[in-house]
């Protein structure tokens, strides 16, 4: 279900009633109703089609003021791998990132109320126009403007908080304003991926950062997979490279996870080793280490139905 705000002006009933209202106020327009109503509905359909092209999976509000640069880099990479499309609202500035909505930092005490109102109304407008599946606040402390958003979103309360290095008392005090809260306190900001490779696969070259412990691996290369295990690996933020004879595993029920982090290679391919090595190089270049895995897992936890 997509999150939305009440917007009656976009409904069919409103369009029809508005045309009838106009005709009642101007009786000479009554004979034109059979023409004006279809014309109005056609315009609405065109506007709706344009609107749907701007829909996103998530609206994400990032309060950059109290977040370390290393945390921000990992979180932004995790967002990219967790959602197909995101509308970003940034409080402050993040170097190298262009936001859909740029909000100023909080000013002095005399400006707090005006600032909270600005944050609330601006983010709600972004939610209304982009109709996301999820609304996520990323920051150390949820300001008043952020907490107000929850009661204004329909269905009520569909706002999640990624609490970045927040203390337990802060989380406990404000958790009731959110649909879900996940604490993100990743001390290990390394993005070096540890790779586990099935011994049955034809890997004849030395793989840097290869591990013998599948439980600590960030990337798992396996010849065949048990479905519950596959789902568990993906939900933990790992990348799974599955090598099978043409047949892809049945991933009904967690297609979004699989589509983002499940790579298929055909075991009957004569160039399998070449392709496998290319995948390894790609993962190494793009990073899939423990910090990123932690960020992906956090977003997975935030968006679970409750």
294 lies in some domain: no
Strands in the chain per DSSP E:
58-63, 86-91, 101-103, 134-139, 160-164, 180-184, 195-197, 219-222, 239-244, 262-266
Q: Using alpha carbons, select from 154, 162, 152, 148 the residue that is nearest to residue 132.
A: 154
Say which CATH number the domain at 106 has.
3.40.50.2000
The Cα 147–Cα 160 span in angstroms is 10
CB atoms under 10 Å from CB of 45, counted, come to 11
297 lies in some domain: no
Greatest Cα pair distance, the chain, in angstroms, is 84
Same domain, 64 and 159: yes
Cis amide prior to 155 (ω within 30 degrees): yes
Model pTM greater than 0.75? no
Same domain, 209 and 264: yes
3-state secondary structure of 165: coil
Say which CATH number the domain at 232 has.
3.40.50
Same domain, 88 and 113: yes
Same domain, 71 and 181: yes
pLDDT digit of tens for each residue in the chain (306 aa)? Answer: 444 443 445 556 667 777 777 777 887 777 777 777 777 767 665 455 444 456 888 899 999 888 888 888 888 888 887 888 888 888 888 877 888 888 888 776 668 888 888 888 888 888 888 888 889 999 999 988 888 887 777 565 678 999 998 999 999 999 988 888 999 887 655 556 778 888 777 666 666 677 788 887 878 888 776 667 777 787 777 788 877 776 665 554 555 555 556 777 777 777 777 777 777 666 665 556 667 777 877 887 887 765
**Listed residues 172, 189, 206: the one ending a domain:** 189
Domain that holds residue 212: 195-288
46 lies in some domain: yes
Eight-class DSSP state of 274: H
Same domain, 185 and 275: no
303 lies in some domain: no
Same domain, 112 and 67: yes
**Listed residues 189, 222, 244: the one ending a domain:** 189
């Amino acid at each position: 279900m997509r999150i939305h705000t009440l917007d009656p002006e976009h409904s069919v009933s409103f369009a029809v009633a508005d045309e009838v209202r106009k005709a009642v106020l101007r009786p000479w327009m009554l004979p034109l109703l059979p023409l004006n109503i279809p014309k109005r509905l056609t315009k609405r359909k065109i506007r709706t089609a344009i609107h749907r092209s701007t829909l996103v999976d998530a609206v994400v509000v990032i309060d950059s003021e109290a977040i370390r640069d290393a945390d921000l880099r990992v979180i932004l990479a995790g967002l990219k791998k967790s959602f197909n499309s995101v509308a970003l609202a940034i409080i402050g500035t993040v170097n190298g990132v262009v936001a859909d909505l740029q909000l100023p930092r909080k000013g002095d005490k005399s400006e707090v109320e005006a600032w909270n109102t600005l944050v609330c109304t601006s983010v709600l407008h972004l939610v209304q126009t982009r109709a996301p599946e999820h609304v996520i606040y990323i920051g150390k402390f949820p300001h008043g403007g952020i907490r107000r958003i929850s009661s204004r979103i329909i269905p009520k309360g569909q706002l999640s908080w990624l609490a970045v290095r927040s203390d337990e008392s802060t989380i406990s005090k404000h958790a009731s304003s959110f649909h879900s809260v996940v604490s993100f306190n990743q001390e290990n900001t390394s993005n070096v991926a540890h790779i586990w490779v099935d011994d049955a696969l034809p890997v004849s070259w030395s793989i840097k950062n290869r591990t013998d412990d599948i439980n600590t691996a960030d990337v798992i290369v396996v010849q065949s997979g048990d479905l519950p295990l596959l789902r568990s690996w993906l939900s933990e933020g790992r990348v799974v490279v599955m090598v099978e004879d043409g047949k892809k595993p049945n991933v009904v029920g967690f297609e979004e996870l699989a589509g983002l982090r499940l790579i298929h290679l055909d075991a009957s391919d004569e160039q399998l080793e070449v392709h496998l090595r290319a995948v390894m190089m790609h993962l190494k270049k793009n990073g899939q280490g423990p910090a990123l895995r932690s960020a992906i897992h956090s977003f997975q936890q935030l968006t679970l139905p409750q």
